[in-house]
Amino acid sequence: MEIDFVITWVDMNDPKWKEEFAKYSNKPENTKNGVSDARFRDYGFLKYWFRGVEKFAPWVRKIHFVTSGQKPEWLDENNPKINLVNHKDYIPEQYLPTYNSVVIERYLHKIPGLAEHFVYFNDDFYIINHIGEERFFRNGLPCDIAVFQYNPSWSQWYIRIKNNIRIINKHFNKNEVMARDHDKWFHKSYGARARWNYLLKPYNKFITLRTPHNAQPYLKKTFEEVWAVAGEELTETSANRFRALNDLTPELFRTWQICKGNFEPYNTYKDTKMFPLMIKSKQAEKAIRNQAYSLICLNDNIHIRNYEQVMNNIKQAFETILPEKSAFEL
């Protein structure tokens, strides 16, 4: 089975990008529309993403590196495993430029040459320990956890997730899905995380699924299926150049995949961890040095105190496990 990785990245220090960003956003410091520095700034860790892939996941067939036409000066674009992808290569022209990650993500299946089985990474997800193909796919299906989560609707992200669920409930009967795939929804590996599945068993509507914020395996056909039934909504919201409350997020495709039964049950929380660096930078540093997980997310925030020091400490932690230049670097 051939498995590709897809990673999206932006260089906010690129003069051309900054000029266009300022033109369309009007207020670059505005966090209301999700356009703050923390969403786009690059703290120099990308090379450790590539080093982690080479050292801990050498089996990957292709890395599709998605940008708005940018490239780190150190990246060897002639490496046979790298496919540089410009937004204009797969996103319809009328929606470009876009600074809305959900628009960039919903068209991923259109990337030329993308394998049927692929894993999607944000640029703040890192592989820090050995990881096999079977972590992402078994029996040709994505490994995932199917458990419900209470959605308080207190943030813009939670509101967007509810947009997804409305579409899911249009096309799936919860009771039928859970009866058909009972062993997948009540898998013993989920442990206490499955408690909402039991509590909501009599309820006949889907609610928000718990979403591990980390590398996500997909089948390309999942995107094609969702576009076939929700193309109108996806097309309409593709015009949102920045994040908006009516957005549909990538969790729509993941939830669809799960509701179709196209997944193998796996408690992804066993080997993944998200670290909000504003409050858990020390824990993140320790986890990297000890290689405590296979996958981590380093979640940036504009309110991180002593930002330079925090990032330097993280960099030094990466250097302890990934000190050698990869074949992806010039």
pLDDT per residue as tens digits for the range 96-119: 999 999 999 999 999 999 999 999
Structural contact between residues 140 and 257, judged by C-beta atoms closer than 8 angstroms: no
pLDDT at 293 over 60: yes
pLDDT at 27 over 70: no
Q: What digits encode the pLDDT tens for the residues 241-253? A: 999 999 999 999 9
Is the pTM for the entire model greater than 0.85?
A: yes
Q: What digits encode the pLDDT tens for the residues 153-202? A: 677 878 899 999 999 999 999 999 999 999 999 999 999 999 999 999 89
Measured CA to CA, the distance from residue 93 to residue 330 in angstroms comes to 32
Spatial CB neighbours of 3, under 8 Å, sequence gap ≥ 6: 59, 60, 61, 115, 117, 118, 119, 133, 136, 137
Tokens of 50: 């590539």
> What is the pLDDT of the chain when averaged over all its residues?
92
* pLDDT at 158 (0 to 100): 82
Q: Strand 3-8's sheet: what is its strand order?
A: 82-86, 62-67, 3-8, 117-121, 216-219
Instruction: Identify the CATH class of 3-321.
Output: alpha beta
* pLDDT at 33 (0 to 100): 40
Q: How many C-alpha atoms does 113 have within 13 Å on its Cβ side?
A: 13
Measured CA to CA, the distance from residue 55 to residue 128 in angstroms comes to 9
Measured CA to CA, the distance from residue 223 to residue 109 in angstroms comes to 6
Structural contact between residues 10 and 122, judged by C-beta atoms closer than 8 angstroms: no
Tell the residue number behind the tokens 């409305």, with chain if given.
Answer: 166
